[in-house]
C-alpha cells in the first residue's frame, strides 16, 4: 500500500522561491494585501537528481495554504511544455490555479512544471535510442524514464504529495500533450488522469514535414526516425496493452483552426482530426474515460489557457487523496 510520508511544511531547502503567483494591487484598506497574499500560491524553482538524464530543472507551484497545514497531503499535477518551449511556459496558469483553488473549483494541488531541453527541445518525452550520426549531433536520452520515475519520486520525497496514482495527473500541450498521453497510458501505475491539449499525436505515422522525424525522439542507432519505433511508442500500442484494472481519465481539447497540411497526403493529420480520432479510440478501451472539447482558435495559448481552466477542473474531479485499498 502506498503511504504518505510527512515532509517539511515550508519551502524546500535549496529551492528558490520565485513569488506568490497573484500580484497584489494597491491596498484600499488595511489587511487587503495580506488577505490577497493568503489566496496566492508560491512558485519555486528547483532541480531533481536523475540517473537517466543527470538532473531535471523544474518549477513547483505550492497551493495557497500549503505552509499553514503541515499535516495535509496534496494531489499532484505534472505539466509538460511544447516543442521549443521551457518550463516557464506553463507558469502563466498559476493565477488560474489560485482562483480555481480559492473558489473551491479544484482541490489544492502541487503542480510541477519540468524543463525538457534535450534533442533541441524536441524530445517528445520519449526514451530515445538515437545515438547521433555525426560530430556535434545530440544523441537522445531517456526522458520518459527520467520524468515518470526520477522526477515523480523526487517530488513525492520532497513535498507533501500523496504517493499513489489516484492522486497524480499529467498534462501538456502540443508535444507536451503527446507526452502526457503517453505517460498516462503507458504508466498507469503512476498516473490516473491526463490533460491532453492539441496533442501532436499521429496515426499511423506522422506527416512528412513533422518535427517528430527530425530530432531523434523516435530514432534508433544512427537513424533519427524509425517508423517501427514510432509505432511502438504510439497511443494505439499503449491502448492495446491497457490494463482496465487501473482506470485513466483523459480530458482532450483542441482548437478548431489547426492549420491543415498543404500536402493533401498529410492533411488527415491536422490535429483537430487527430484529437477527434483519439477521443473515439479512447472511449472504446475498457478502463479509459474521455472528454473532448473543441475551442475556437489555433495552435496557441488562445486555446490552451481556456482549455486548461476547464480541463483542470475536469481531471481534478477524478483525483483522490485517500489511500487506496491494499
pLDDT digits (tens, 9 = 90+) for 88-112: 999 999 999 999 999 999 999 999 9
Does 57 have pLDDT greater than 80?
A: yes
Angstrom distance (rounded) from CA 229 to CA 140: 13
Grid coordinates representing 231 are: 509505432
What confidence category does residue 261 fall into, taking pLDDT thresholds of 50, 70 and 90?
low
In this prediction, residue 135 carries a pLDDT of 62
In this prediction, residue 34 carries a pLDDT of 45
Does 54 have pLDDT greater than 70?
A: yes
Residues 197-226 have a mean pLDDT of 94
Does 29 have pLDDT greater than 60?
A: no
Residue 283 carries which DSSP code?
Answer: H
Does 72 have pLDDT greater than 90?
A: yes
Angstrom distance (rounded) from CA 109 to CA 112: 10
Contacts of 320 (CB under 8 A, 6+ apart): 75, 166, 167
When mean pLDDT is compared across 11-15, 76-80, 147-151, 213-217, the lowest value belongs to 11-15
When mean pLDDT is compared across 34-43, 66-75, 191-200, the lowest value belongs to 34-43
3-state percent breakdown (helix, strand, coil) of the chain, nearest 5: 35, 20, 45
Contacts of 188 (CB under 8 A, 6+ apart): 165, 242, 243, 246, 248
In this prediction, residue 14 carries a pLDDT of 38
**Three-class DSSP category at 311:** helix
Residue 74 carries which DSSP code?
Answer: B
Does 18 have pLDDT greater than 70?
A: no
Bridge partners of 152, per DSSP, are none
239 φ/ψ angles, rounded to the nearest 5 degrees: -65, -35
In this prediction, residue 17 carries a pLDDT of 47
Which of 192, 198, 164, 122 lies closest to 323, judged by CA? 164
DSSP H or E stretch at residue 58: strand 54-62
Does 37 have pLDDT greater than 60?
A: no
Contact 191, 92 (CB under 8 A): no
Sheet holding 16-20, edge to edge: 16-20, 42-50, 54-62, 109-114, 75-80, 168-173, 193-197, 248-255, 288-295
- Model-level pTM? 0.88
Residues 316-320 have a mean pLDDT of 97
pLDDT digits (tens, 9 = 90+) for 175-188: 999 999 999 999 99
273 vs 8 pLDDT, higher one: 273
Measured CA to CA in angstroms, residue 241 lies from 115, 149, 237, 251 at distances of 29, 20, 7, 20
Q: What is the number of other CB atoms lying within 10 angstroms of the CB of residue 319?
A: 22
209 vs 51 pLDDT, higher one: 51
Report CA 122 to chain centroid distance, whole Å. Answer: 15
Bridge partners of 46, per DSSP, are 58
Q: What is the number of other CB atoms lying within 10 angstroms of the CB of residue 259?
A: 11
Residues 264-293 have a mean pLDDT of 93
β-bridge pairing 16-20 and 42-50? antiparallel
Contacts of 78 (CB under 8 A, 6+ apart): 111, 112, 113, 114, 147, 151, 152, 168, 169, 170, 171, 180, 183
When mean pLDDT is compared across 19-33, 146-160, 233-247, 298-312, the lowest value belongs to 19-33
When mean pLDDT is compared across 44-58, 93-107, 232-246, 253-267, the lowest value belongs to 253-267
When mean pLDDT is compared across 30-34, 228-232, 292-296, the lowest value belongs to 30-34
Contact 250, 293 (CB under 8 A): no
Listing DSSP states for 2-17 in one string gives --PPP--SSPPTTPEE
pLDDT digits (tens, 9 = 90+) for 227-250: 999 999 999 999 999 999 999 999
pLDDT digits (tens, 9 = 90+) for 106-139: 999 999 999 999 988 999 999 999 998 766 678 9
Angstrom distance (rounded) from CA 72 to CA 64: 12
Looking at every residue in the chain, the average pLDDT score rounds to: 89
- All structural domains of the chain, each given as residue ranges with its CATH number in brackets, are 38-316 (3.40.50.1820)
Contact 249, 315 (CB under 8 A): yes
Does 3 have pLDDT greater than 50?
A: no
Amino acid at each position: 500500500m502506498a503511504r504518505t510520508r510527512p515532509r517539511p511544511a515550508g519551502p524546500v531547502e535549496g529551492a528558490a522561491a520565485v513569488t506568490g503567483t497573484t500580484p497584489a494591487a494597491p491596498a484600499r484598506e488595511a489587511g487587503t494585501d495580506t488577505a490577497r497574499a493568503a489566496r496566492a500560491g508560491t512558485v519555486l524553482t528547483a532541480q531533481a537528481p536523475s540517473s537517466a538524464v543527470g538532473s531535471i530543472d523544474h518549477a513547483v507551484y505550492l497551493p495557497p495554504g500549503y505552509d499553514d497545514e503541515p499535516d495535509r497531503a496534496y494531489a499532484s499535477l505534472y505539466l509538460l511544455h511544447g516543442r521549443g518551449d521551457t518550463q516557464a511556459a506553463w507558469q502563466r496558469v498559476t493565477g488560474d490555479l489560485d482562483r480555481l483553488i480559492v473558489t473551491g473549483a479544484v482541490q489544492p494541488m502541487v503542480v510541477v512544471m519540468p524543463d525538457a531541453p534535450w534533442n533541441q527541445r524536441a524530445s517528445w518525452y520519449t526514451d530515445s535510442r538515437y545515438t547521433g550520426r555525426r560530430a556535434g549531433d545530440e544523441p537522445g536520452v531517456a526522458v520518459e524514464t527520467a520524468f515518470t520515475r526520477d522526477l515523480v519520486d523526487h517530488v513525492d520525497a520532497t513535498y507533501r504529495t500523496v504517493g499513489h496514482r489516484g492522486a497524480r495527473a499529467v498534462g501538456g500541450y502540443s508535444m507536451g500533450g503527446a507526452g502526457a498521453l503517453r505517460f498516462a497510458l503507458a504508466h498507469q501505475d503512476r498516473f490516473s488522469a491526463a490533460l491532453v491539449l492539441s496533442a501532436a499525436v499521429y496515426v499511423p505515422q506522422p506527416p512528412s514535414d513533422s518535427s517528430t522525424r527530425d530530432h531523434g525522439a523516435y530514432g534508433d542507432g544512427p537513424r533519427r526516425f524509425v517508423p517501427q519505433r514510432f509505432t511502438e511508442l504510439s497511443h494505439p500500442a499503449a491502448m492495446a496493452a491497457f490494463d482496465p484494472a487501473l482506470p485513466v481519465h483523459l480530458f482532450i481539447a483542441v482548437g478548431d483552426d489547426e492549420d491543415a497540411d498543404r500536402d493533401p497526403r498529410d492533411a488527415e493529420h491536422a490535429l483537430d482530426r487527430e484529437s477527434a480520432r483519439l477521443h473515439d479510440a479512447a472511449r472504446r478501451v475498457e478502463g479509459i474515460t474521455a472528454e473532448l472539447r473543441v475551442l475556437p482558435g489555433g495552435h496557441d495559448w488562445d486555446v490552451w489557457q481556456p482549455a486548461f481552466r476547464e480541463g483542470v477542473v475536469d481531471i481534478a474531479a477524478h483525483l483522490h487523496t485517500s489511500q487506496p485499498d491494499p
